[in-house]
Chain A
Amino acid sequence: MMSELNLTAALPEVFLAAAGMILLMLGVFRGNKGTRLVLSLTVACFALAFIIVSVSMGRSEVALGGLFIADAFGDFMKLLVLAGSAVTLIMAMRYIEREDMARFEYPVLVLFATLGMLLMISANDMLALYLGLELQSLSLYVVAAFRRDHLRSSEAGLKYFVLGALSSGMLLYGMSMIYGFAGTTSFAGLAAQFSAGQPASLGLIVGIVFLSAGLAFKISAVPFHMWTPDVYEGAPTPVTAFFATAPKVAAMALIVRVMVGPFGELVEQWQQIIWFVSVASMILGALAAISQTNIKRLMAYSSIGHVGYALIGLAAGTQEGVNGILLYLTIYIVMNLGTFACILCMRQKEVMVERIEDLKGLSKTNPPMALALAIFMFSMAGIPPLVGFFGKFYIFLAAIEAELYVLAVIGVLTSVIGAFYYVRIIKLMYFDDPIEAFDRPIGREMSAILVATSLTIVLLSVGIAYLLDGTAMAAASLFPG
């Protein structure tokens, strides 16, 4: 079993890897004129991979000699990642042409990053984890600095790279300690050891601390979040949208799998780390966002806060908690895609604007967009009956059931503070006088994304039960027996 290759289990990854090579070749031969073609084909590849994953949903197989696992949890996360990558690529299409960064490498890099994410999600061994993570990260470093003639963009890429390298170092150090104390890098092997009742040595716990610090960097949890606002602000907006969605989901999936899988028996130990990181993220995300004037920075802090909420589910360490995380991430990704679509429409006289003030009076100059953004903001703030409320609700419910009362109370308090800056955007749009209208038209694909995401939010608010079926199945696959 261990020696089997079983490539069919990794069919989506294999397909994307092969497609990536072919698209790269295509790009090389067609040059930058073929960017649109390559981009469209990449989206098509994502769509195809999406279909493959959803068709094979429900399986549970191990492949590549035990390094790779395909289960319902992973498949659910992969669907989110693929959807996020595809939509952000579509959003980027016009932007990269307009802003003079239409090079065919962009979609290909996004494709390789996505491939890395899929591998992360399916990692069943420390080394597989690391390989997937690095494939993703290296692609992201390049994408962040994609406008290399642009100071902010290259600064963002460089910062991300330096700090990412540091976090990778911590990650590797943690892994080596774990290997040194446990004697194996396989998740299954580690889980078997701890379930046998072997107490965790202090060295191993230090290893786990380092490992989780490295992973926390990827999900931008406090105190490993410092790169986030700068990179979000500096990177080109479609890249920011991409950063805020797919990689977040993938990294969150990874941290859940690592914590619940091999170290599931040590929940008492790592719960404290997650608790601390979660509280710090929620508080910082809520407080720091209030004084932001740039909407991309605001979204950075918003995402830090959201990660904090999602981590509550992990701190609970239960199946309900993981279920809450899956639900939360699904809602989060839809809200974020919609919000970034709005941000990408913030153009005045052919120039992108990013100040929150620029949204003033949007309800008068562009009522549909204002309505969509209002839906996203209300949902992010967690105001019922919109679906964002249910996301928080199930997370807090899991925390209460796991008797993490303090965590739940802090979560509720910070979401009150957080509501301030979300609702302020609505106030600006609906109660202030417009200064200058945004350029129109915003493009057909943008309109479609806005309609689709806001409709999804509204429909999910009504049909939350259907989503809960899916997440429950995915969460159950992580907790055998």
Chain B
Amino acid sequence: MDRNKVSVAEPYLPPAPPTPSSEFVFARLGAYWRALGVSDPDQIAALSEQALRRAAESPEAPGLDAVARALVAAGELLDDWLARAFDLPRSPRELAAARAALLSGAAPNWPAALFAAPGEADTVLDALRAARAEPAPAPSPGAMPAQRIELFGSLDSLRRLWRSEPRD
């Protein structure tokens, strides 16, 4: 790649607006919620507001602008709900697995469950539980000690002879 050309070319991602308008933030959050599978505009608006409130309360993260922080907060909202619904530890892997199950298409009507009263979304939760990825069984470790192989001395001498030859 010609670095000189790159430096004058348009960057791959446009630069972040210094002070993004609230319309812009809402538009990006709306697009994100739709990508996650939420289609009801009222639900999108409610979730976006919650995400914005959460982002405002969260400490500034290095490398993330206001819009990105709002999007991170949107993800955390989901994670909170998943952790409560499945009684999960706050481990990033566990939460990511639950989020992947949510977004896998196993329970397309999950947004309804998000707003449902406790106990009314059991079918959705069961489907999500079944869809959670299990990449490996529980560990059952064993030792595999390196074996000793006695190399014959004569061959070692030959090898030393070979190694002493100059290399080009």
| A and B interact physically | no
Chain A residues in the interface with B (C-beta under 8 A): none
Chain B residues in the interface with A (C-beta under 8 A): none
